[in-house]
């Protein structure tokens, strides 16, 4: 299809021009055509910010194929954790897209829900997303709550908005964060150089991720995370932003890019990890919510999925946190600073310039610090780890003493209470 530029459109961006002259298309539709090379001027491809001039002939070689507005039910098995008249809690597997979009029209969770529950699903989010209250990435398994009617949907959506519905995730990240617990506060938006990716960007949507380190290995750390917001790819983007990508993440440097930073002594183990990990080792393991009808608090948990659990077993066996890490310049040393994407790296971020954020616009995860400050923080972190390890040992000794009938008063000072959860030692 040819479109001749009239004088009134002179100087317009080509995507805006085409939206104005084509029927029933959005700017996103047009930009997808441009990125696919289907829009040409003078026989050559153009970018979306190309400016048209009077008399130009703009050729659109392929028209927009609109997605169907109806959803066909599909007999896809569901792992149902809980169900009543108002909600369903499911354990979504890996490799399952939640709803149609971005070229995916079949094989979705939404189609499976429609097959199993038919008309007993909320319609708040339209015909392509029946019952869908929130999402998980295609390769992120774990718990999701589904609404079976509109009233339940609105109640759950309000809980998400007011942060009374809590979602807890486990993630294995490369290296070890400098802080063993904290909040990553950095805005997220579309990556300016790759529309398939999200990134921490100036002017992005407010995004906060809370995390606690739960288990340490020589090349990775198991984190427990909670989202204060729910942006696309939030945990994966924030993990990459802090310099510790999620292990196995193919989109945010969690595979070969991180493998290249593993010390030589540990690289064989890291390679085994990536052979086991099908994609990002990230799982939604717990949901806490208020039931829309009874107002009772409900908590649902699922065990760690098999690939994730197998990776942890491998790491525990072959490179526990006490294992030394070899550095070509410094020899064997502590593992806490390893496998980190740092701002000093030449290839820290291929899109660093457009992602700069001033302190007035966001709360950065980290500030540039002097070497002395970094060393001081490293020593403090190491001391904290030693204290935690000592307390773990003490708790084990207390348990052993209790089994032998020795009173705690004979073992520790009166009033002693552990500062870490004894369940971690089970």
Least confident range from 34-38, 215-219, 415-419: namely 415-419
Q: Tell whether the model's pLDDT for residue 164 goes beyond 80.
A: yes
417 falls in which pLDDT band (50, 70, 90)?
A: low
Could you give the C-alpha distances from 208 to 205, 293, 362, in angstroms and in order?
Answer: 10, 30, 11
Average pLDDT, integer, range 347-374: 45
385 burial type by CB count under 10 A (0-12 exposed, 13-18 middle, 19+ buried): middle
Q: Tell whether the model's pLDDT for residue 350 goes beyond 60.
A: no
Q: Strand, helix or coil at 83?
A: strand
Please tell me the predicted confidence (pLDDT) of residue 68: 55
Q: Tell whether the model's pLDDT for residue 65 goes beyond 50.
A: yes
Average pLDDT, integer, range 351-377: 50
Please tell me the predicted confidence (pLDDT) of residue 302: 96
Percentage of residues in the chain with pLDDT exceeding 70? 80
Alpha carbon distance 324, 320 (integer Å):
9
DSSP string, 338-404: -S---TTSTTS-TTTGGG---TTT---S-----HHHHHHHHHHHHHHHHHHHHHHHHHHHHHHHHHT
Please tell me the predicted confidence (pLDDT) of residue 385: 76
Could you give the C-alpha distances from 322 to 191, 316, 332, 333, 363, in angstroms and in order?
Answer: 38, 10, 12, 10, 33
Please tell me the predicted confidence (pLDDT) of residue 168: 97
63 falls in which pLDDT band (50, 70, 90)?
A: low
301 falls in which pLDDT band (50, 70, 90)?
A: very high
Average pLDDT, integer, range 257-275: 92
Give 382 or 98, the one with higher predicted confidence: 98
Q: Which CATH number, 3.30.2350.10, 3.100.10.10, 3.30.70.100, 3.30.1330.10, labels domain 169-288+295-365?
A: 3.30.2350.10
Average pLDDT, integer, range 176-192: 90
Average pLDDT, integer, range 228-233: 89
Alpha carbon distance 105, 67 (integer Å):
8
Give 50 or 410, the one with higher predicted confidence: 50
Alpha carbon distance 400, 34 (integer Å):
68
Q: Tell whether the model's pLDDT for residue 348 goes beyond 80.
A: no
Alpha carbon distance 267, 263 (integer Å):
6
Q: Tell whether the model's pLDDT for residue 191 goes beyond 70.
A: yes
Q: Tell whether the model's pLDDT for residue 406 goes beyond 80.
A: no
CB 89 within 8 A of CB 83: yes
- Range among 105-119, 122-136, 144-158, 320-334 rated most confident: 144-158
Please tell me the predicted confidence (pLDDT) of residue 14: 93
Alpha carbon distance 32, 192 (integer Å):
14
413 falls in which pLDDT band (50, 70, 90)?
A: low
Q: What is the CATH number assigned to the segment(s) 2-60?
A: 3.10.290.10
Q: What is the pLDDT of residues 285-294, one digit of tens each?
A: 999 999 999 9
Alpha carbon distance 8, 112 (integer Å):
49
246 falls in which pLDDT band (50, 70, 90)?
A: very high
Q: Tell whether the model's pLDDT for residue 387 goes beyond 90.
A: no
Phi, psi (rounded to 5 degrees) for 92: -70, 135
Buried (b) or exposed (e) across 51-85, using 16+ Cβ within 10 A? ebeeebebebeeebeeeeeebeebebebeebeeee
Least confident range from 87-101, 279-293, 393-407: namely 393-407
177 falls in which pLDDT band (50, 70, 90)?
A: confident
Alpha carbon distance 240, 355 (integer Å):
13
Average pLDDT, integer, range 314-331: 64
Find where tokens 């289907």 sit.
38
Domains 2-60 and 68-162 share a fold: no
Domain ranges for the chain: 2-60, 68-162, 169-288+295-365, 369-425
User: Which residues does 403 contact at the CB level (< 8 Å), separation at least 6?
Assistant: none
Average pLDDT, integer, range 198-224: 92
Q: What is the CATH number assigned to the segment(s) 68-162?
A: 3.30.2350.10
Query: To the nearest whole number, what is the mean pLDDT of the chain?
Result: 82
Alpha carbon distance 408, 238 (integer Å):
43
Active-site residue list: 137
Q: Tell whether the model's pLDDT for residue 47 goes beyond 70.
A: yes
Q: Tell whether the model's pLDDT for residue 370 goes beyond 90.
A: no
Q: Tell whether the model's pLDDT for residue 412 goes beyond 70.
A: no
According to DSSP, the residues that pair with 257 across neighbouring strands are none
Q: Strand, helix or coil at 317?
A: helix
- Total H helices, total E strands in the chain: 9, 17
Give 25 or 371, the one with higher predicted confidence: 25
């Amino acid at each position: 299809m040819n479109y001749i530029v009239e004088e009134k459109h002179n100087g317009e961006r080509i995507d805006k021009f085409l939206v104005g002259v084509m029927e029933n298309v959005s700017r996103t539709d047009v930009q997808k055509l441009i990125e696919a090379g289907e829009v040409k001027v003078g026989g050559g491809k153009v970018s979306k910010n190309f400016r048209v001039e009077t008399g130009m002939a703009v050729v659109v070689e392929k028209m927009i194929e609109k997605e169907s507005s109806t959803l066909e039910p599909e007999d896809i098995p569901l792992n149902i954790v809980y169900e009543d008249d108002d909600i369903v809690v499911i354990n979504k597997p890996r490799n399952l897209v939640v709803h149609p979009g971005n070229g995916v029209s079949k094989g979705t969770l939404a189609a499976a829900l429609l097959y199993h529950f038919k008309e007993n699903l909320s319609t708040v989010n339209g015909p392509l997303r029946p019952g869908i209250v929130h999402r998980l990435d295609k390769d992120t398994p774990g718990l999701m709550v589904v609404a079976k009617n509109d009233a339940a949907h609105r109640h759950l959506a309000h809980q998400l908005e007011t942060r009374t519905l809590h979602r807890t995730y486990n993630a294995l990240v490369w290296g070890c964060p400098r802080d063993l617990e904290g909040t990553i506060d950095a805005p997220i938006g579309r990556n300016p150089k790759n529309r398939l990716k999200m990134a921490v960007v100036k002017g992005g949507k407010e995004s906060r991720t809370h995390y606690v380190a739960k288990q340490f290995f020589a090349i990775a750390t198991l984190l427990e995370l909670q989202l204060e917001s729910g942006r696309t790819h939030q945990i994966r983007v924030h993990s990459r932003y802090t310099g510790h990508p999620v292990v196995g993440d193919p989109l945010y440097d969690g595979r070969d890019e991180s493998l290249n930073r593993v010390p030589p002594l540990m690289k064989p183990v890291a390679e085994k990890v990536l052979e086991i990990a099908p994609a990002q080792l990230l799982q939604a393991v717990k949901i806490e919510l208020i039931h829309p009808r009874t107002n009772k608090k409900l908590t649902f948990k699922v065990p760690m999925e098999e690939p994730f659990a197998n990776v942890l077993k491998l790491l525990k066996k072959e490179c526990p946190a006490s294992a030394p890490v070899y550095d070509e310049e410094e020899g064997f040393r502590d593992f806490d600073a390893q496998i980190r994407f740092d701002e000093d790296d030449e290839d820290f971020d291929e899109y660093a310039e457009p992602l700069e954020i001033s302190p007035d616009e966001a709360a950065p995860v980290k500030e540039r610090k002097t070497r002395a400050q970094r060393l001081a923080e490293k020593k403090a972190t190491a001391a904290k780890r030693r204290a935690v390890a000592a307390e773990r040992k003490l708790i084990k000794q207390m348990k052993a003493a209790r089994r032998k009938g020795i009173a705690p008063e004979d073992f520790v000072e009166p009033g002693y209470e552990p500062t870490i959860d004894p369940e971690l030692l089970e």
